[in-house]
């Protein structure tokens, strides 16, 4: 009793250490299906088509003066001397919701802060903005979802409208209106920069990504110095998006795994979801953003009404 059977071999009697558990690999982050950015794209194109329909150049000018009058009919473009971007007349844009200070402040048409983001001065303006929207916006919506990107787009566009409105006066006289989606688009670029900074640990080629993004932003801002381009909207949208990125686009640091994704029996070292500097950026960005919006609104609503005059448009035009 207690002895090994004579037929048992040394191999059968040997005791081996249990095999190590397989290496746990966290699931890849969820990719959202983008639908909001394509919807914004469709809305912008539809609004431009409607603006050309409402404009009806042949009814306002001699038919020979309208561009492509024979091919487009009532959708023909304004004469090149009036609108070199192949688009509608300024009164049409103004009627549809272009940005103008007196109408917002003294006629309480605050909806113009947002409707101007869906209007464009011409085909050239529209194509440039929509290419940028699809190139930047689709990827961001895939990573962060429609809710955060929608808030980012609208609030960045609002910031661009605020700063633009503060510079639509010259010597106390209103001389320009502003249209275009590029304030919101520059907000997406600004958010990409702050997202890179606040989620620094998850990027492999950090310096390469940072340099590439700074070069792209610099090239886009440089376009704002061209004639008839509203660089104030670009800068306002970029700054708004930059601070919003610290608030809306904060992601878990490298190595964090949600407990629901850890199978039973695995010993995975838990890390904090966010680091202290991410919370620090969030608080500072929120304070600066609220103060900036409050300052912009105060400056706009404490100004004096301008005199009515001929009102050329300013476009918001990123590359």
Structure tokens at 285: 């960005």
Residue labelled with tokens 């500072």: 284
Enumerate residues 6+ apart whose C-beta is below 8 A from 137. 34, 37, 40, 149, 153, 185, 188
User: Do 86 and 154 contact (CB within 8 A), yes or no?
Assistant: no
DSSP codes joined into one string, 118-136: G--SSHHHHHHHHHHIIII
Greatest Cα-to-Cα distance within the chain, rounded to the nearest angstrom: 117
Provide the 10 A C-beta neighbour count for residue 170: 10
- Angle between helix axes 231-248 and 206-223 (nearest 10 degrees) is 150
The residues annotated as belonging to the active site are 182, 234
Q: Within 13 Å and on the Cβ side, how many CA atoms surround 44?
A: 30
Residue 263 CA to its chain's centroid (Å): 38
99: phi then psi, degrees, rounded to nearest 5: -80, 120
């Amino acid at each position: 009793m207690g002895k090994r059977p004579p037929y048992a071999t040394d191999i059968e009697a040997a005791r081996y250490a249990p095999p190590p558990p397989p290496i746990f690999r966290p699931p890849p982050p969820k990719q959202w299906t983008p639908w909001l950015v394509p919807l914004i794209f469709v809305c912008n194109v539809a609004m431009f088509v409607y603006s050309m329909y409402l404009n009806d150049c042949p009814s306002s000018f001699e038919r020979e003066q309208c561009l492509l009058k024979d091919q487009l009919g009532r959708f023909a473009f304004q004469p090149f001397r009036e609108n070199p971007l192949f688009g509608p007349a300024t009164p049409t844009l103004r009627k549809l919701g272009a940005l103008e200070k007196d109408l917002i402040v003294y006629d309480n048409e605050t909806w113009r802060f947002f409707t101007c983001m869906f209007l464009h001065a011409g085909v050239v303006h529209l194509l440039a903005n929509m290419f940028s929207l699809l190139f930047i916006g689709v990827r961001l919506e895939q990573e962060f979802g429609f809710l955060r990107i929608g808030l980012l787009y609208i609030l960045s566009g609002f910031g661009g409208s605020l700063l633009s409105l503060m510079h639509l006066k010259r010597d106390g006289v209103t001389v320009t209106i502003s249209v275009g989606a590029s304030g919101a688009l520059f907000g997406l670029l600004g958010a990409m920069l702050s997202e890179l900074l606040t989620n620094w640990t998850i990027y492999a080629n950090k310096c390469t990504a940072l340099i590439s993004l700074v070069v792209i932003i610099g090239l886009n801002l440089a376009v704002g110095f061209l004639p008839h381009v509203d660089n104030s909207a670009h800068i306002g949208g970029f700054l708004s998006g930059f601070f919003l990125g610290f608030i809306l686009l904060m992601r878990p640091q490298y190595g964090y795994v949600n407990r629901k994704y850890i199978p039973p029996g695995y010993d995975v070292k838990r890390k904090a979801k966010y680091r202290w500097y991410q919370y620090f950026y969030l608080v500072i960005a929120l304070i600066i953003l609220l103060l900036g919006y409050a300052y912009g609104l105060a400056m706009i609503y404490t100004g004096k009404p301008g005199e009515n005059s001929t009102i050329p448009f300013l476009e918001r035009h990123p590359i």
